[in-house]
Structure 1
Amino acid sequence: MMQQEYVPEKIVLWLKDDLKDQIPKRLSKLQGDLFEIRFSPYGFSHRKLIHSLDAFPDKTVITCDDDVIYQSDTLKIIYEEHLKFPNEIIGNRCRKMTYENGKINSYSKWPFVANPQQGAHNMPVGAFCVLYPAHSLHSDVQDVDLFMKLAPKADDLWFKAMAILNNTKSLQNTSQPDIPIPIMGTQFVALKKVNKGQDFNRVQWQQICDHYDLTKDKIEHLLS
């Protein structure tokens, strides 16, 4: 991220508090005006966005993962799309949440969006970078007790729901950077494996929808 063609105002790495004394020196030395390590009492994946929204409430925030290597044009591509669609959430890659007879399908039936487009059921995938304009998410986004009850292992789904409730559309980027490269040894316990293997994404999305009374038709109405 520090070697991107478009350099952001700030890069923040959010880590759990208990890692304070375990930061490698070569990483700690990178800290300065651009890069900063901040700490959180939380271990869940939602933390990087909820804390960033609190720390930078009026800024555009781009989330990315710390277990992959991104191409140097990743931020350039997503930010240039933001300039075209300043009020929409931009995902470099999105999945289309699909339904059958009004019920959400298994995650294995949520295909990647093939053609760049807006869509009520587009779910930006965090691993590919997601851009959130300031004030684009519902105020419940930072309700820790609630999202730990409804979607403890699905930050992408929680943020998608918060976008829907705020009437914010999600757009698949018209340009796509190359797929990020996983860092060796970091993917063994990745959330995507847990959620996909146990169909936990479908379960968590249903819990969110039940809580907020979100049906397929209601989602389409809110984002029409």
Structure 2
Amino acid sequence: MWIDYVLRQVGSSLSTGFKVADLLLTSRSSSRMIPHSGDTVISLTTHGPRLRTVYLTIESLIQGTQRAPIILWLDRDDYEGVWPKTLRNLVERGLQVRCSDGLYGPHTKYWGTFRELAGSGIRVVTVDDDMIYPTWFLEKLLIAAEASPDCVVAYRTHAMKLDDEGLLPYKYWKPTMDTEPSRLNFFTGVSGVAYPPSMVSFVVEQGDVFLQCTPRADDVWLNACALRSGHLARQVYNHPRDFAVIPSTQLSALVVGNTLMGGNDEQIALTYRPRDISSLIDAHTLELDRA
């Protein structure tokens, strides 16, 4: 599954090159501002060498047909270090940069923003720092989120597969090919996810126990929280959408470790409790009865 995804990204590398060049020029000339407040906030993190390229992701969001406040989380070393001019320019245009505790790995993308906004009634959209998002990204995501206000909404989900003994390994899960909300939809953060305010609050209430069970797989923890809180997941379209990857940022150890090397299965086993599996089996049985 992950190999197909990477091959699709490699196949679109030429198109991505044009997008990067366009965003580079736009970032030098655009004065389009980022809103400071609203009923939706976009949250992401970056680190190390990616400080030099994250402006491409953020610029693609600013140039969208719909905009929202953007919060970028940096670990302390990066926060107190020298920022690239591209990042400083974005701050002048409204980017909000926060300093993280530096303990949360991939969970940094959402954890600080969730804690900041829990109970506020504000929706949080998470994005990855190595993607170029299309101009319609936020607009289409929010249309789907408004249509399913109690759901976690994503551009990319997998259908969790089970047998009589429980969950099958992650590599056997298939892309979701509909927009129906389901407990069996496992959303992935790479293409963007919208979390309703009630989900934000629930996750914060659980504290940082994810550090013990799933420190390297934020998707695993957030999907478990969605299941336990009764938030179904749905896809924006009836097929997954993969967006352009910024060159040189993909194929990280996290991607390989969580997919090819079975890291997701390990962390799923540590995270999902017997009652979680029972709930998924019930959902699987119900869907079979409806078929």
Asked if Structure 1 and Structure 2 have the same fold, meaning a TM-score greater than 0.5 normalized by the shorter chain, the answer is yes
For residues 24 and 148 of structure 1, what CA distance do their matches in structure 2 show?
31
For residues 254 and 63 of structure 2, what CA distance do their matches in structure 1 show?
27
For residues 97 and 172 of structure 2, what CA distance do their matches in structure 1 show?
37
Could you report, residue by residue, the CA deviation over 1:133-165 in whole angstroms, capped at 9, with x for unpaired residues?
A: 102253466522x21111111101100111111
1:52 equivalent in alignment to 2:113: yes
May I ask how many residue pairs the two structures share in their alignment?
Answer: 220
2:145 counterpart residue number: 82
Question: SS at the partner of 1:30?
Answer: helix
1:30 counterpart residue number: 90
Residue 220 and residue 131 in structure 1: after superposition, are their counterparts in 2 closer, same or farther (change >3 A)?
A: farther
Residue 178 and residue 160 in structure 1: after superposition, are their counterparts in 2 closer, same or farther (change >3 A)?
A: closer
2:136 counterpart residue number: 73
Between structure 1 and structure 2, the one with the greater Rg is 2
Question: SS at the partner of 1:207?
Answer: helix
- Aligned residue identity for 1:143: G
1:143 counterpart residue number: 207
- Unmatched 5+ residue regions in structure 1? none
TM-score of the pair, normalised by structure 1: 0.89
Could you report, residue by residue, the CA deviation over 1:167-218 in whole angstroms, capped at 9, with x for unpaired residues?
A: 11111113678521111111142522211121111111111113xx334332
Q: How is 1:170-189 mapped onto 2 (pairs within 5 angstroms)?
A: 170-174=233-237, 179-189=242-252
For residues 209 and 175 of structure 1, what CA distance do their matches in structure 2 show?
27
Give every structure 1 segment of 4 or more consecutive aligned residues whose post-TM-superposition deviation is greater than 6 Å.
none
Residue 139 and residue 73 in structure 1: after superposition, are their counterparts in 2 closer, same or farther (change >3 A)?
A: closer
1:2 counterpart residue number: 62
Question: SS at the partner of 1:45?
Answer: helix
Question: SS at the partner of 2:211?
Answer: helix
For residues 176 and 4 of structure 1, what CA distance do their matches in structure 2 show?
22
1:105 counterpart residue number: 168
* Offset at residue 110 of structure 1 (A): 1.2
Asked if the contact 1:123–1:170 (Cα under 8 Å) also holds between the matched residues in 2, the reply is: yes
1:11 equivalent in alignment to 2:80: no
Once the two structures are overlaid, the 10-residue window that deviates more, 39-48 or 88-97, is 39-48
Question: SS at the partner of 2:180?
Answer: coil
* Offset at residue 221 of structure 1 (A): 5.5
Once the two structures are overlaid, the 10-residue window that deviates more, 132-141 or 117-126, is 132-141
Question: SS at the partner of 1:163?
Answer: helix
2:36 counterpart residue number: none
Asked if the contact 1:124–1:160 (Cα under 8 Å) also holds between the matched residues in 2, the reply is: yes
Question: SS at the partner of 2:259?
Answer: helix
Larger relative CO (CA 8 A, sep 6+): 1 or 2?
A: 1
